[in-house]
A = this chain, B = another copy of it.
Amino acid sequence: MSYINFPSKLLEHAVAEFAKLPGIGRKTALRLVLHLLNQPKEDVHLFGSSIIQLRDEIKHCSSCYNISDTEICDICANPKRDHKTICVVESIRDVMSIERTQQYHGIYHVLGGIISPMDGIGPSDLQIEPLIKKVQESSIDEVILALSTTMEGDTTNFYLYKKLQTFEAKITTIARGVSIGDELEYTDEITLGRSITHRTLFDQNLQA
C-alpha cells in the first residue's frame, strides 16, 4: 500500500505493532488503532493489559501441554474422560475444534507444532518425548493421530508411528474423505480416492 504520513509517532508506533499481526495490513491496523483511540481510557487499558497478562501468566497443562490456568488442565483432570485414549494434535486450536464436535471423550496431547525441516522444526522442538513416555508408562489403549493432511503432517504422523509402534497401544488416524454437504464433483481427487479406498460399512454410518 502507499506510504502513510503519520501525524504522530505514537500513532505510527501503535499501527506498526498491530500490522505485525497475521492478516492485518497497515490500513486495517490504522482503522483498529483509531477505533481504540475513541474508546474510554479504561477500556483501552483493559485491552492492552489482557493480552500482556495472558502472555505473562499463561500455563500449559503439565500432562497434555494444552493451555490452562491450572497445573493440570480441565480435560486431563476430568475423571469422566477416557484416560486410555490420547488424541495427538498440533495446537490448542485443534483441541478446541475437536471439543466443539462433542464426539470425543478421551484426553489430548498437544505437540505444539509439526515436524517441518523447512522451518527448522525438528522432533526435539515438539512435545514428542512426553507423549512417548506417557504411552509407555500409562498403558494407553489407543493413540489417535489428528494432524493436518499436509506433507509436514504426514511426516510427523510417520515419525510418531515409528516411535509408538513398539508399544501396546493401537495407533489410528482420523478419517479423511468427502466433507459432509460437499458434492463429489468438486472434491479433489486425492480426497475422493482416499474416501473410496477407506470406504466404511453403510450400517456403520447409520449408527453415527
B-binding residues in A (CB < 8 A): 2-11, 13-14, 17-18, 20-24, 28, 30-37, 39, 41, 43-58, 66-69, 73-75, 91-93, 95-96, 99-100
Contacts and interface: CB of A to CB of B under 8 A. Distances in A.
B50 A44 contact: no
Contacts of A36: 21, 51, 54-55
A67 B11 contact: yes
B46 A8 contact: no
Q: Could you say which of A28, A37, A52, A74 has the most chain B C-beta atoms within 10 Å of its C-beta?
A: A52
Given A5-B96, A5-B99, A51-B17, A56 B34 contact: no
Nearest to A4: B96
B7 A33 contact: no
Given A10-B57, A51-B48, A34 B91 contact: yes
A95 to B, nearest CB: 7
6 contacts: A4-B96, A33-B51, A33-B54, A37-B58, A39-B55, A49-B52
Contacts of A75: 7
A108 to B, nearest CB: 10
A173 B54 CA distance: 49
A10 B73 CA distance: 13
B20 A47 contact: yes
B44 A8 contact: no
Given A7-B74, A8-B67, A100-B3, A54 B32 contact: no
Contacts of A45: 52, 55
A66 B34 CA distance: 12
Given A5-B100, A48-B52, A31 B35 contact: no
A38 to B, nearest CB: 9
Contacts of A69: 8-10
